[in-house]
Amino acid sequence: MCPTYPHPTGWLSGAGDQMNSTPTVGVLALQGGVREHAEVLDALGARTALLRTPADLLGPDGLRVDALVLPGGESSVIDRLIRTFGLYDPLQEAILAGLPTLGTCAGLILLANRVEDPAPGQQSLGVLDATVLRNAFGSQVDSAEVELETAEGPVRVAFIRAPEVVAVGPGVEVIARRSQAIVGVHQGAITGIAFHPELTGEARFHRHLLTQIGGHQQRAAS
């Protein structure tokens, strides 16, 4: 039986927001699947900025980007690199301040407050009230394309050494499951998913990220 979802309180709430101009989305580009995310965003009419240093994220007048994507890859490597390159605090502060953010696979692990079975010394940004188990769906050889029922309808996506959300806080909305496992969550302006929509050409999650920008711009200007 497909899971059912109550009327979402946050996942679709930005659908009517309007952006003032062509948005710029920062894609963390230290390691992992960067190009595929950029291609989806370009097809949706957004500009893509590759983030490798704090200056790529923060300029003299504030944030250089209107939204953020944390791509898949090796979560422990990305964690180490964001701290090595001085991005940990700027990323954490921007996300906590309401910057619309999409994290896929390793990006979900980076967002979570708690990580089960972390690599030695692995940390996370701790901005999403959820516990994530790394590699919950097996190794690289267990990768597969799967059709999921989500809060926005069925989607076909790829699972590659995917994590699972094993616990969520009271303010976190579940937006996708694989069987009974939670594989997609939403909290405020943060969306974390355990899978890769960018590898199958599924644009709904990126489109939703863009719809949140108008509301964030309005709040920042008020």
Establish whether 216 is a catalytic residue. Answer: no
Catalytic residue among 36, 152, 173, 198: 198
Alpha-carbon gap, residue 123 to 203, rounded angstroms: 29
Q: Give the largest CA-CA distance in the chain.
A: 52
74 is catalytic: no
**Annotation marks residue 105 as catalytic:** yes
Catalytic residue among 37, 186, 196, 208: 196
Residue whose C-alpha is closest to residue 99's, from 54, 58, 65, 61: 65
Say which of 36, 37, 105, 206 is annotated catalytic.
Answer: 105
Instruction: Report the candidate in 111, 179, 105 with the shortest Cα–Cα distance to residue 135.
Output: 105
| Nearest residue to 182 via CA among 131, 146, 142 | 131
CA dist 49 and 150 (Å) reads 29
- Which residues are known to be catalytic? 105, 196, 198
